[in-house]
Structure 1
Amino acid sequence: MRKFLHYAGNIAGMIIAFVLYAFLQGFYFFPKKIHMPMKSVGIALITVIVLWLIFWLYKQQLKYVNNWGFNEEPHWKWKKVLVAFIGFILITIGAVITLNLVSGGKTVSTNQQELNRISLQSGMMFKIMVGFIAPFCEEVIFRGMFFNTFFTKATSFNKWAGILVSGFVFAFMHDPALSKFIIVYWVLGCVLGWVYLQTKDLRYSMMTHMAYNLLGVI
């Protein structure tokens, strides 16, 4: 019963976090449809509340099971920053190699086509979402909450199996049609999972994710 409650509670937390993330996307991808007084201030306040809530859900999970030692203080170490930087190099090289393997670098995924379309109507709000908010939310959900739920025991097998599986789930959410581009997203997800497991802190996989995403929007 305790295991069932653990899985059920954590999965519910993941679903809530994903719904909150999708809710937040509406403000940034379709800002012209949002009508409220002092819109910029309102969106900023809603963003802070939603991001705080998503990270709070993640930390609540860690209170019950945390065999890996995730999110322990001190949070900032130069060695971990170096891991994040190495992750950025790996993720950039991996993206270039896999994109050339699957398409010769001449075409982009359906997900990227849709993002390109949305960027035309949302402007700077799109860059904020893709560059900062999306990496924050996706790392909490696909790395933090995922490991807290399905790979809780700190073993070598769980480390590498978790990296591969969480990477695939991340890829599937970006390419549910299972096109050839899912390989690209899978590699990206695996590198981010590796950064998280090496540092035991989401702040560093977020840094890697943000740096990579910003390459495409700046």
Structure 2
Amino acid sequence: MTQKRSLLGRIGIFIAFVFLQNLSTIGLQVEVLIGRPLSEFTYALVVSVIFLAVMVYFIKYYQGQLQEYNPRDFGENLSFKGKVGWIILTVVGIYAFLILVSPLLPQGTAENQQVVNQMFANHVLGVTLYGAVLGPIIEELLYRGIFMNFFWNQKGRLYDVLAVLSSGVIFGLLHEPQLSLYLVVYAAIGVFLGMLYLKTKDIRCNMIAHILYNGITFLVMFQTL
């Protein structure tokens, strides 16, 4: 069972998952790998196949975790009753936070966003599918679902706080792997999403909130085309 694995074993497996997620992003550089440009449709198809495969694998592993050991009853209530409001509140909360801290941020764009902007300019469809849909689903499965059940799968306020904060920090480091104010911003977004997961106990709510947040960002990016 998940709770019976050694801490070192759990850390090793989680690092392997993070490596797999990062390795899969090589699909976004498929043109560099094969040495020739692809059509918009072909590029989107390659990106979709790669990330869908990773997504399905993470879904199966996450479901297996919950079957083995699930003291918090994650995924037990499949009804969206009472959850939609929390999804909307989370997205609004993230954007309100960003508005408040934006005057404190250095001029320019975070390195992660710069990379996305560059790829978006070359392949709108494929990068939008990844950034607005597939990426958020994979990240929520890994950094909320799998992570919290690996390391903080016991009931208690202390475990809740540690789960939310640690998942937020790791999520921040994924997007900004250096000490900066952007790291704080991404970590805070992860905290918002962590609180949503603990509140609704439904990873689908996290996926929807993350897709909404990223989707709005991509709508803004479309205006730059």
The match for 1:91 among 94, 105, 130 is 94
Q: CA deviation at 1:212?
A: 0.5
Alignment check: 8 A CA contact 1:172 1:182 kept: yes
Alignment check: 8 A CA contact 2:47 2:130 kept: no
Q: Equivalent residue for 1:127? A: 128
How much is the aligned-residue C-alpha RMSD, in angstroms? 2.5
SS of residue paired to 2:178: coil
Structure 1 residue 26 corresponds to structure 2 residue 45: no
Q: CA deviation at 1:214?
A: 0.9
Change (3 A) 1:10 1:72: farther
Distance 2:168 2:187 in 1: 5
Q: Equivalent residue for 1:79? A: 82
Query: Sequence identity of aligned pairs in percent?
Result: 24
> After the TM superposition, which segments of 4 or more aligned residues of structure 1 sit over 6 Å from their partners?
none
SS of residue paired to 2:137: helix
Uncovered stretches (5+) of structure 2, i.e. residues with no partner:
220-225
Distance 2:138 2:90 in 1: 18
Once the two structures are superposed, residues 59-82 of structure 1 have per-residue CA deviations (whole angstroms, 9 ceiling, x without a partner) of 222222211111114x23231121
Change (3 A) 1:9 1:59: farther
Alignment check: 8 A CA contact 2:128 2:218 kept: yes
Of the structure 1 ranges 8-17 and 154-163, higher mean CA displacement relative to structure 2 is found in 8-17
SS of residue paired to 2:119: helix
Alignment check: 8 A CA contact 1:30 1:121 kept: no
Q: CA deviation at 1:166?
A: 1.0
SS of residue paired to 2:58: helix
Count of aligned residue pairs for this structure pair: 213
Q: Equivalent residue for 1:184? A: 185
Distance 2:103 2:11 in 1: 36
TM-score (ref. length: structure 1): 0.85
Change (3 A) 1:41 1:151: same
Of the structure 1 ranges 158-167 and 191-200, higher mean CA displacement relative to structure 2 is found in 158-167
Uncovered stretches (5+) of structure 1, i.e. residues with no partner:
none
Q: CA deviation at 1:16?
A: 4.0
Change (3 A) 1:24 1:122: farther
Q: Equivalent residue for 2:65? A: 61
Structure 1 residue 165 corresponds to structure 2 residue 130: no
Change (3 A) 1:43 1:126: closer
